[in-house]
Structure 1
Amino acid sequence: MKYILEEAYKSYRETIKTFVLNFNTSGEDFIVDQRNSIKLFVLSEETINIKAFRIPNIFNQFAYKFLRKSKAQRSYEYANRLIKLDIGTPKPIAYFEFTTPFLFKKSFYVSEHLNCDLTYRELTKNFNYPDYDTILRAFTRFTYKLHQKGIHFLDHSPGNTLIKKHGSDYDFYLVDLNRMHFGTMDFETRIKNFSRLTIHKSMVEVMSDEYAKCTGEDYNKIFDLMWYETETFQEKFHRKKRLKKRFKFWN
């Protein structure tokens, strides 16, 4: 077992290790799916969030052991990098990795648990949500801020931005952090970064309008590209689902 723990949590080292080692039989289920599981644990007076990444396939077990950083390590390092760049994300606490001499096995990312008011996903389902237009435009400005700081969040999708209301303002926090690139982004890459967020043309129109205000670019240029990238992503997504169904049928 290898782990890295934030200095502020060193006094809780053994407790956090116990949480991780007993992950399967303890904690409160928060998210459970085929890929990864998230559980909540009470640490003193704080609730923390532990994400367990599933054991990768045999090729990636070798790659993560010798060639690449694990998803847990990347999540931890990217969270610290985002905080230094003044981008919201739940506070990172630790990451753990379990390996054999030649293969990588399981990994865990530990962070604070952030209670949010909503995620971006709610905006795709409830067009009557209070302050709807204000939130969607603020989210667009937040995405522009990411782009200006050279943050290409590859998993910029509906469930991966938590939203909290503070007075009349809204704050945004990124989660599911293990896929990011850092560096200057060209116009096409910036606009394509919106492609996974919604299937609704009305939302793309609002985001295009607000992004045009942020950048000074022509609205029509932004909208045409954003809607094209949105439709292209949806076509690829549904094509992939159809192929999976056929593969399962044949098996």
Structure 2
Amino acid sequence: MKKVFALDNKTFNDQLLDFIINFKSEGDMFNDGDRNVIKTNTIDDVTINVKSFRTPNLVNKFVYRFFRKSKAQRSFEYAQYLENNDIGTPKPYGYFENTGILSFEDSYYASEHLQADLTYRELTTNFKYPNHEAILRAFTRFSYQLHQKGINFLDHSPGNTLIELNNGNYKFYLVDLNRMKFGEMDFKTRMKNLSKLTIHESMIKVMSNEYAKVSGEDEIQIFNTMWKETQDFQERYHRKKRLKKKLKFWKN
């Protein structure tokens, strides 16, 4: 097993490694998904969140073994990059990989487990949430900060931003970090980055207004571009779902 730790704390790291080795039998289940499993555990009064990534297919076992960084390694390194750039994310503690001579088996990413008040998703389902518009505007400023720092979070979607309220001093934390690009972002790339967040035109209008305030860009152009990118994403998403449904029908 490849072991990479963020802390220089042997006692803590040994306990974390023990949790990884005994992942199937230890810890509390947080999310048992089709692709990944997330469990929590407590080490030295710190609640740890460990994501176990699904074993890749035969081709990717070879690719991840020799040519590409694992999802766990990317998550860890991107979390450190975010920390170094003052962008919120759960504190990274390490990543772990099991490999064979010619193939990659599985990987784990360990981080702090945050008890957030909500995610962006709640804003899309409950328009009466207290201070809804203020939170949405603060989130838009947070997204603009990402863009200004050249951080293109490719999974900028409703469930991947945790929000702490802090009596109106809203704080945002990115999770599910393994897909990111870094570098200067042009206007269209910025708008596309915001296209997966909501289907509601009213929310796009608020976000466009706030983005115009902080960026100095034309509000109408922001709205038109963001709304078009949102509609295009929704069309691609539903087309893909229809295709999967047809393929599933044919297989059955």
Give yes or no for contact 2:99–2:106 (8 Å, CA) kept in 1: yes
2:243 matches 1:243 = yes
Aligned-partner Cα distance in 2 for 1:223–1:40: 40
Q: Is the partner of 1:142 in helix, strand or coil?
A: helix
Deviation of the 1:32 alpha carbon: 1.1
1:66-107 C-alpha deviation (Å, 9 max, x unpaired): 001000000000000100000000000010000000000100
Aligned-partner Cα distance in 1 for 2:44–2:19: 13
2:80 matches 1:80 = yes
Which residue of the partner structure matches residue 156 of structure 1? 156
What CA RMSD, in Å, does the superposition of the two structures yield over aligned residues? Answer: 0.8
Which residue of the partner structure matches residue 104 of structure 1? 104
Aligned-partner Cα distance in 1 for 2:8–2:116: 24
**TM-score, normalised to structure 2's length?**
0.98
Deviation of the 1:46 alpha carbon: 1.0
Identity of aligned residues (%): 59
**Unaligned segments of structure 2, at least 5 residues:** none
Q: Is the partner of 2:106 in helix, strand or coil?
A: strand
1:89-132 C-alpha deviation (Å, 9 max, x unpaired): 00000100000000001000000101100000000000000010
Which residue of the partner structure matches residue 166 of structure 2? 166
Which residue of the partner structure matches residue 32 of structure 1? 32
**Unaligned segments of structure 1, at least 5 residues:** none
How many residues end up aligned between the 2 structures? 251
Give yes or no for contact 2:7–2:13 (8 Å, CA) kept in 1: no
**TM-score, normalised to structure 1's length?**
0.98
Aligned-partner Cα distance in 2 for 1:45–1:215: 42
Amino acid at match of 1:86: D
Amino acid at match of 1:101: I
